[in-house]
Chain A
Amino acid sequence: GAVVSQHPSRVICKSGTSVKIECRSLDFQATTMFWYRQFPKQSLMLMATSNEGSKATYEQGVEKDKFLINHASLTLSTLTVTSAHPEDSSFYICSAGTGADEKLFFGSGTQLSVL
């Protein structure tokens, strides 16, 4: 299957700092990438859809000014958690599809811990 690379895999930061997470499609171009958040023992919740060259589409209840998404190229999308607080501590996962079918491939995830 297609490879999606995500890093860092783990971040520990102080409250009030900003954290950037990168998601790259390594062997294909992705016009659309998706960002999910997963709290312990819960399922994945879609946060936003990242579209190359245009603004991201955020799900209801997700603060667009807090979770900044940039999709500057066909192989890279970034999620920046601004002014992180302990309640933002979660597992963040990106995904992308090749466009050939509807299958999505996931990055390895980023465990964010805000102290």
Chain B
Amino acid sequence: QKEVEQNSGPLSVPEGAIASLNCTYSDRGSQSFFWYRQYSGKSPELIMSIYSNGDKEDGRFTAQLNKASQYVSLLIRDSQPSDSATYLCAVIKAAGNKLTFGGGTRVLVKP
């Protein structure tokens, strides 16, 4: 079992719709969770961080964390073509900033 798992996609959504991305992790002791966006040929950029159960909203993005079920999700509202990218879920298991990445979900937003 991979430490951080994501559906590779592609997840195809029409412009203006909600894109829903899921991520599961294996280490129940994980404390910190992140979503990164990566465009082709570029390095990842941080979108959201979440540390406690529940929802966290930032603009069009909402991260949801459920530690009991060991999953974290990302919702993108009002999806735009510029949101087309690969979204990486990343987890820190303990203090030390050592990130473990999932395989990424490719999102395609069609005009």
Chain A positions within 8 Å of B, measured between CB atoms, are: 1, 6, 32, 34, 42-46, 49, 91, 93, 95, 97, 101-109, 111
Across the interface, do B88 and A107 meet the contact criterion of CB distance under 8 Å? no
Query: Which of A1, A46, A108 is B42 in contact with, Cβ under 8 Å?
Result: A108
Distance in angstroms from B91 CB to nearest chain A CB is: 11
Chain B positions within 8 Å of A, measured between CB atoms, are: 32, 34, 41-46, 49, 88, 92, 95, 97-104
Distance in angstroms from B50 CB to nearest chain A CB is: 11
Of chain B, the residue at the smallest CB distance from A109 is B43
Q: Which 8 A-B residue pairings sit nearest by Cβ, starting from the closest?
A: A109-B43, A106-B43, A43-B103, A43-B101, A44-B101, A102-B32, A93-B43, A97-B97
Of chain A, the residue at the smallest CB distance from B51 is A102
How many residue pairs bridge A and B at CB < 8 Å? 49
Neighbouring B residues of A43 by C-beta, 8 Å: 88, 101-104
Of chain A, the residue at the smallest CB distance from B6 is A43
In Å, the complex CA distance between A46 and B97 comes to: 12
Of chain B, the residue at the smallest CB distance from A101 is B49
Neighbouring A residues of B45 by C-beta, 8 Å: 106
Neighbouring A residues of B42 by C-beta, 8 Å: 108-109
Check A44/B41 contact, CB under 8 A, given A34-B97, A97-B97, A104-B97. no
Query: Which of B41, B95, B99 is A34 in contact with, Cβ under 8 Å?
Result: B99
Of chain B, the residue at the smallest CB distance from A45 is B101
Across the interface, do B98 and A46 meet the contact criterion of CB distance under 8 Å? yes
